[in-house]
Chain A
């Protein structure tokens, strides 16, 4: 049975979705990075990282939702290719770890106005995980499934 995805009938659908994906990650990863920098003592001073995260969490979540839904639609255009693409699989490992980390350990570190002793470590892990997501995303386009690295 042949199922046609309407996304594949328009040449513009994929690049436009990618633009939403990019703006979504600028919001989500950008705001997360700002909070992480604050934990590291860089950037916004005069307020605790916890306060900053209370000001930005909605923008982070909004960005994540846009990024996730545009990403699911991008994925739906060619699931076989993504499934066989090791950069995509690595990206998903980083992404799922990053989201879980963000809403558990990261959130706990930002629950009090006094940052915990491991605050800097939490910030570094968060930055590393999200950077991994970005690298995985870019490498998808340079790798062809089953053919090794591009």
Chain B
């Protein structure tokens, strides 16, 4: 059922057009990275504050509360671009072990957020009042660093798994032969321009 959903969504007109565009896809990927710099940077700084390694002159409440809104904007940008990329290659991603791992890690992140929300994130002022940062807040921060770093690495890993060409019906096709030939600077003349093409 998941597979047929993936096939259906990637063949909607919207995602077919997105997949077929040579420039829109890398622009979306770039914006995904911009989102990671903003959102990832703020998550790391918040977690390092909870661990007592950074921004120690600022109260935890300031860091957690004031980063909340910009962090949500960063998450919105990153997630939107991620969904656009995944949707245009949904069937290929269905088979991708790194993408599957990434989805599982997202589920784990959501669970840890729910577990720690009340005691850590919803009430940061209480953490400032405690004589030292409570252990559960440090645990939440350490898990957050570990999980989000793993998610970023899984995202990078997705591109390293060759798509199962015998199973999928559409892909953003990278012509590896043209890439390899182009790496020899003396054989550039007379190259084909068919470096990126879309097959539906």
* Residues in chain A within 8 A of chain B (CB atoms): 15, 18-19, 22-23, 25-27, 29-31, 33-34, 37, 42-47, 51, 55-56, 59, 78, 80-81, 84, 130-131, 134-135, 137-139, 141-142, 144-150
Contact = CB atoms under 8 A, between A and B. Distances in A.
Nearest to B157: A15
B156 A19 contact: yes
Contacts of A51: 57
Interface of A is mostly: helix
Contacts of A139: 26, 30
Interface size of B as a range: 35 or more
A45 B182 CA distance: 51
A29 B156 contact: no
Nearest to A20: B153
Contacts of B182: 81, 84, 144-147
A134 B23 CA distance: 15
A148 B193 contact: yes
B33 A137 contact: yes
Interface of B: 22-23, 25-27, 29-30, 33-34, 36-38, 40-42, 44-45, 48, 54-55, 57-58, 62-63, 66-67, 69-70, 149, 152-153, 156-157, 159-160, 178-179, 182-185, 188, 191, 193, 195-196
Given A23-B149, A145-B188, A44 B193 contact: no
Contacts of B27: 135
B22 A29 contact: no
A59 B16 CA distance: 41
B162 to A, nearest CB: 12
